Every structure is written in C-alpha cells, then in structure tokens.
Amino acid sequence: MYRVCVYDGKAAEDTLFIKEIVIDERGEVQEISESQNFNDYYARISEKEKERPDILVTELNHNARELQLIEQMWKMNPDLQTVYVMDKSHVLTKPVSQSAVVECVNRRMIEDHNMVSFHTKRKMLAVNAREVTHVESKKHNVLIYQDGIPYKFRLKMDECLAQMPDYFIRVHQSYAVNFYYIDSFERKGIILRSGNKIMISRKYFTQAKKKYDELLAQKKKDNDKQPSHS
C-alpha cells in the first residue's frame, strides 16, 4: 500500500480519473480538494510522517504559495513522485518507481498516438497533443499551451518537438504550432482559431509553409474519403 495525494483545487475530471485508477490499484488515496486548505495539509504532514504521500498528482495551475509548498514537499521527501496531468492518462502503477510510472504512460501512449509524456527525475507531464494549440520556448523551459493556459516544463524546444506528432509545425526558433488550430497562414504571421497571432521567422517560413500545405492537402484528401450522408 502507498499514499497518493491528488491535489486538485478545481476538482477536475482528469485528476478524479487518476484517483479512480489508484483505488483500482488498491493504494491509499489522500485527496486534497478546494474544500481543504493546502497550507493546512502541508502543516499536518510536516508533523505526521506517516501521512506523507509517496506520489503527488496535480495539475500545473498553482499560485506562488502552492508551488513553494510543493517544493518543500520535495525537500521533505526526495523520493516523492510528482505527476502533472493535463489529460486523462493512466500514469500510476505499483510498485512506485520512476520506471514503472514511465512504462504505464508509454502504454497509454500506445493506446492513443496523440498522448505525449515528458519526464525528468522528479516530474512528469502527460498531455493530449491534439489539445495543445502551440508551444513556446523561453530560456530553458517550454510553455505548452492548452485552452489558453501555458504549462511550463523544463525542456528544450527540439526535445519537446521530437516527441510531438508530425502535425506540429516549427515556425520560429521559439514557436511551434498545432496545424489543427491554424486559421490562416501568411508570411507576416499565423492566426490561430483563438485569434492569437504567432510570428513566423524568415529562417523557418519556407519549410513551415511547405509542411502546412502538405498537411492541408492531406486533410482535404481525408475529408474527401468521408462517406456522403446525402
């Protein structure tokens, strides 16, 4: 038996789904929801070692204080596994180990080719690439945008795109865009369906435009194959 803290201030379906998986694995679950205070929870586990979690499952939209407490939890337990969830994903298994978590995510990725995972020694991020509008590189991090919200992960752009499906188009040293969210593609920039504009650098324009046209042609070909309902 191991302890899993599902910290979810919004009681989102994704992390509740993870909770159900943990219950199926017969692990003990500690769920921290919006009705509970994360500061109080941290104070309790600081005093009671037996209540400290082995795994922390959480989304990425934390305020500065919550991030500070999570960092303190890492210091309290250097072996704490941290799983960041952006979509429904089978990411927990027994025994608790980095290799076991990665293996479980890889199985999920095989089931759905749009699932992508990134992991470091202490963190993991699982995401449905089809729901990512674009990726931005800033210093040593990438910002993965989903529903207008940037999720930061310490990774190089090239490493990120190496795992993304081929419908992501590199348009700038610092930007890559999901083809399915492009509303218009012009030399002066890309307009996303959300209305946001992404700049295109001169260096990447020719190659990016070629890939965009190829994906557009493939999309039209696939649509033509769809049976008519008339």
Neighbouring CB atoms inside 10 A of 185's CB total: 20
Please report, as a single letter, which amino acid is at residue 141. Answer: N
Please report, as a single letter, which amino acid is at residue 68. Answer: Q
- For the chain, helix (H) and strand (E) counts, in that order, are 6, 14
Residue 201's φ and ψ, nearest 5 degrees, are -85, 155
Which residue stretches of the chain have pLDDT < 70?
1-2, 8-36, 59-64, 83-113, 119-124, 126, 226-230
pLDDT at 157: 94
pLDDT at 137: 95
Model pLDDT for residues 139-195, shown as the tens digit of each residue: 889 999 987 888 888 889 999 999 899 999 999 999 999 999 999 999 989 999 999
For residues 22 and 113, what is the distance between their CA atoms, to the nearest angstrom? 23
pLDDT at 14: 53
Burial of 6 (0-12, 13-18, 19+ CB in 10 A): buried
Q: How far is CA 49 from CA 45, 54, 76, 147, 157, in A?
A: 6, 11, 10, 38, 39
